[in-house]
Amino acid sequence: MNSTPKHKAENLSFLVTDEVGMRLDVFLSDKLKQKGVSRADVQRLITEDNVKINGISKKKNYSVAAGDRISVFLNLKKASETLPENIPLDIVFEDEHIIVLNKSKGMVVHPAPGNYTGTLVSALMYHTDSLSDIGNNDRPGIVHRLDKDTSGLMVVAKSNKAYTDLIRQFSNHEVKRIYHAVVEGLLSLDEGVISTPIGRDPNDRIKFKSGVDNSKKAVTEYKVVEYLKGHTHIEVRLQTGRTHQIRVHMASIGHVVYGDKLYGPRKKSKSIISGQCLHSKELCFYHPFTKEYMRFNSKLPDYFIEVLKYFGKMEE
């Protein structure tokens, strides 16, 4: 199952009139959306020097000015061709409609700028010819995602019926998702709820932040599993599923997820693991065809156990 290229290579040109002050990537995303070009695609075009403003290269956050002539060499064929790759998968359940698996730490779920190979999607395409073709053609079967360095349980849709029903369950907050994490510091409460809305950080488009403009509702429940030396092992339940939600919410109360370089302080002692110590441990949902309530629970992975042993139980 190969996704087809979005379009042939072509040269395009746009003149800025009423869009003065708009970010370059936003401007082009609007102009190119009818061609099926995403904002991520636009940013890649800019990074790869396929966009010129009055003949000069600019960064994606450049504010366009009246009279700017923006030329684009639109060639996304290579990035839009997602190919099967023989990558081992840790599958815990599979039938004709769904696959439930443990995603390994360090694996990107779907192709994105800088990560076009070695993805979960490529591994799934090698494993089976049956993946839902609803939605983005670079993300067959994907109904939710985990960050690259977050490990654990995911469900994938093989049939279109499964895709539609699982999306509905996620949208209606019917899917139960429980994570385990190690965070920095000792939490003052044994359990709590963080309910500050989350939106994209206006000063850093890669990050998300609590309480910014255009934020969306986000609710995270947590409880302490064990106090460690200078750290806390917690269980987290998501009521909503915003991007980076656990990482953002824990950072917002001063307890960054251990190993999280994106939301941790810039000057930080070296972590014993790569990326955040965060694992999707439990996943529950209704089977999209049989309507059976399905519960899956995974063991904590080796890297997580290593962190727990490294810090050790807090002395009484």
pLDDT in tens, 2-22: 443 445 578 899 999 989 999
Query: Residue 117's pLDDT is what?
Result: 87
Per-residue pLDDT, 316: 54
pLDDT at position 6 is 45
Return the minimum-mean-pLDDT range out of 109-113, 172-176, 178-182, 214-218.
109-113
Please give the CATH topology (third level) of the domain spanning 82-172.
Pseudouridine synthase (3.30.2350)
Upper half-sphere CA count for residue 158 (Cβ side, 13 Å):
16
**Are 201 and 208 contacting, i.e. CB atoms less than 8 angstroms apart?**
yes
Structure tokens at 41: 């695609």
Locate CATH 3.30.2350.10 in the chain. Answer: 82-172, 174-316
Q: How many CB atoms lie within 10 A of CB 143?
A: 25
CATH numeric code, 174-316: 3.30.2350.10
**Better-scored residue on pLDDT, 269 or 57:** 57
- Tens digits of per-residue pLDDT, 123-149? 999 999 999 988 767 789 999 999 999
Place of tokens 């429940």: 221
Compute the average pLDDT of residues 22-44: 87
Report the pLDDT averaged over residues 17-36: 89
As a CATH number, domain 10-80 is 3.10.290.10
- The confidence band for 155, taking pLDDT boundaries of 50, 70 and 90, is very high
Q: How confident is the model at residue 111 (pLDDT cuts 50, 70, 90)?
A: confident
Q: What residues act catalytically?
A: 147
pLDDT at 79 over 60: no
Look up residue 50 and give its two tokens. Answer: 């396929």
Which pLDDT score is estimated for 76?
64
Q: How do 151-157 and 278-286 pair as beta strands?
A: parallel
Mean pLDDT (whole number) for 184-213:
92
90 membership: H or E segment, kind and range: strand 90-94
All CATH 3.10.290.10 domain ranges in the chain, comma separated? 10-80
Burial (Cβ within 10 Å: 0-12, 13-18, ≥19) of residue 285: buried
pLDDT digits (tens, 9 = 90+) for 249-288: 999 999 999 999 999 987 767 899 999 999 999 999 999 9
